[in-house]
């Protein structure tokens, strides 16, 4: 991570921001293009927030050339005024402000500044990724650790070029098959269910994860600390979904208005299909996967994913 000095274009406060010095996808890429890093996750450090007035955005939003209109400045500073957490001041470490809060502030600033639908779509999508990543962790528990170690017997052996996220989803499928076969005792089953829910939640497959988490919350089979963490995980699903819905709406407006053209259009169509699939709108998902597949210049890896995800959404459309 790199610390750098920056000046707010709204209130002129100088402060320290943090950037991620590198980016990789060593931990795999989810099908909505969330590239998981083996080290620090880049998305956590993309948004800077002024600790005095709350103005937030990417590093480019703090460039000297950025001009903030008077009406936007009044909104930020006076009415309705951006709200910062109590105790977060210019003397605070920027890491004291959670990334999810920074994205919320940036989204508000982008709306007030009337930035493009495409720009807002990406902010909401990255905010959804943050909710997914933060909501995927559970506290240490011996029973859960034992089951997770046991579950590795079903883990496919990945090749050096295989997407690690796909490997974990294959593992989730094999665990689900073992559950369906009645392999586990009633004492083992809650921890196996939780292991499955964790894998699905980690990769944002919340349509499958949420019912498992709901059942575990209702049955309440775990110690209090773990049960509370499961509730927080379930709440994070709803927060992620809120941003996914907003991202889908913004991408759709931008695409229908032909604001996204050229090489950016196929990925945007694909993402709109994937977002619709994840929030349960399978018919719309199929339509936008088709748009991506029909787009000139779509690259082969994205085309392969669009074909695979379209088939999955088409199955969901038939079931519904």
Domain boundaries, the chain: 2-115
pLDDT at 293: 97
pLDDT at 25: 76
pLDDT at 158: 65
pLDDT at 320: 63
pLDDT at 157: 77
pLDDT above 70 as % of the chain = 98
pLDDT at 21: 77
Residue 317 above 80 pLDDT?
A: no
Q: How confident is the model at residue 151 (pLDDT cuts 50, 70, 90)?
A: confident
Residues contacting 150, CB < 8 A, separation 6+: none
Residue 213 above 90 pLDDT?
A: yes
Residue 190 above 70 pLDDT?
A: yes
Residue 228 above 70 pLDDT?
A: yes
Q: How confident is the model at residue 152 (pLDDT cuts 50, 70, 90)?
A: confident
SS (H, E, C) the chain: CEEEEEECCCCCCEEEEEECCCCCCCCCECCCCCECCCCCCHHHHCCEECCCCCCEECHHHHCCCCCCCHHHHHHHHCCCCCCCCCCCCCCCCHHHCCHHHHHHHHHHHHHHCCCCHHHHHHHHHHHHHHHHHHCCCCCCCHHHHHHHHHHHHHCCCCCCCCCHHHHHHHHHHHHHHHHHCCCCCCCCHHHHHHHHHHHHHHCCCHHHHHHHHHHHHHHCCCCHHHHHHHHHHHHHHHHHHHHHHHHHHHHHHHHHCCCCCHHHHHHHHHHHHHHHHHCCCHHHHHHHHHHHHHCCCCCHHHHHHHHHHHHHHHHHHHHC
Beta strands 14-19 and 2-7 are antiparallel
pLDDT at 308: 97
pLDDT at 218: 98
Break the chain down into helix, strand, coil percent, rounded to 5: 60, 5, 35
pLDDT at 240: 98
Residue 205 above 80 pLDDT?
A: yes
pLDDT at 6: 95
Of the listed ranges 24-33, 59-68, 129-138, the one predicted with least confidence: 24-33
The mean per-residue pLDDT over the stretch 129-145 comes to: 94
Residue 245 above 90 pLDDT?
A: yes
Element (H, E) at 283: helix 282-294
pLDDT at 53: 97
Mean pLDDT of the chain: 94
pLDDT at 111: 98
56, 128, 222 from 87: Cα distances, Å: 18, 26, 35
Of the listed ranges 46-50, 120-124, 149-153, 299-303, the one predicted with least confidence: 149-153
The mean per-residue pLDDT over the stretch 75-104 comes to: 95
Instruction: Return the closest-CA partner of residue 310 out of 247, 300, 208, 283.
Output: 283
Residue 253 above 70 pLDDT?
A: yes
Residue 16 near residue 4, CB atoms below 8 Å: yes
Tell me, rounded to whole angstroms, the distance of Cα 24 from its chain centroid: 16
Cα–Cα distance for residue pair 93/202, rounded to 1 Å: 28
CB neighbours (10 Å) of residue 237?
20
Q: How confident is the model at residue 88 (pLDDT cuts 50, 70, 90)?
A: very high
């Amino acid at each position: 991570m790199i610390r750098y000095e920056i000046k707010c274009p709204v209130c002129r406060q100088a402060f320290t921001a943090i950037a991620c010095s590198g980016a990789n996808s060593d931990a795999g890429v989810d099908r909505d293009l969330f590239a998981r890093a083996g080290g620090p996750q880049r998305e956590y450090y993309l948004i800077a927030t002024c600790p005095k007035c709350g103005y937030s955005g990417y590093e480019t939003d703090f460039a000297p050339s950025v001009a903030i209109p008077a009406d936007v400045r009044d909104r930020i500073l006076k009415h309705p005024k951006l709200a910062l957490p109590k105790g977060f001041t210019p003397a605070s470490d920027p890491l004291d402000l959670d990334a999810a809060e920074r994205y919320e502030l940036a989204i508000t600033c982008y709306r007030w500044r009337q930035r493009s639908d495409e720009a807002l779509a990406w902010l909401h999508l990255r905010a959804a990724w943050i909710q997914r990543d933060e909501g995927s962790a559970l506290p240490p528990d011996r029973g859960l650790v034992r089951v997770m170690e046991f579950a590795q017997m079903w883990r496919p052996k990945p090749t050096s070029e295989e997407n690690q996220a796909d490997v974990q989803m294959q593992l989730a499928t094999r665990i689900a098959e073992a559950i369906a076969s009645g392999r586990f005792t009633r004492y083992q089953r809650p921890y196996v269910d939780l292991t499955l829910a964790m894998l699905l939640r980690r990769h944002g497959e919340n349509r499958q994860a949420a019912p498992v988490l709901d059942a575990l919350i209702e049955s309440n089979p775990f110690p209090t600390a773990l049960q509370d963490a499961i509730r927080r995980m379930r709440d994070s699903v709803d927060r992620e979904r809120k941003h996914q819905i907003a991202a889908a709406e913004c991408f759709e407006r931008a695409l229908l208005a032909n604001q996204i053209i050229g090489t950016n259009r196929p990925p945007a169509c694909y993402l709109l299909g994937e977002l619709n699939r994840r929030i349960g709108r399978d018919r719309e998902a199929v339509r936008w996967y088709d748009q991506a597949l029909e787009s000139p210049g779509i690259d082969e890896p994205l085309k392969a994913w669009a074909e695979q995800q379209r088939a999955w959404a088409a199955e969901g459309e038939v079931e519904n």
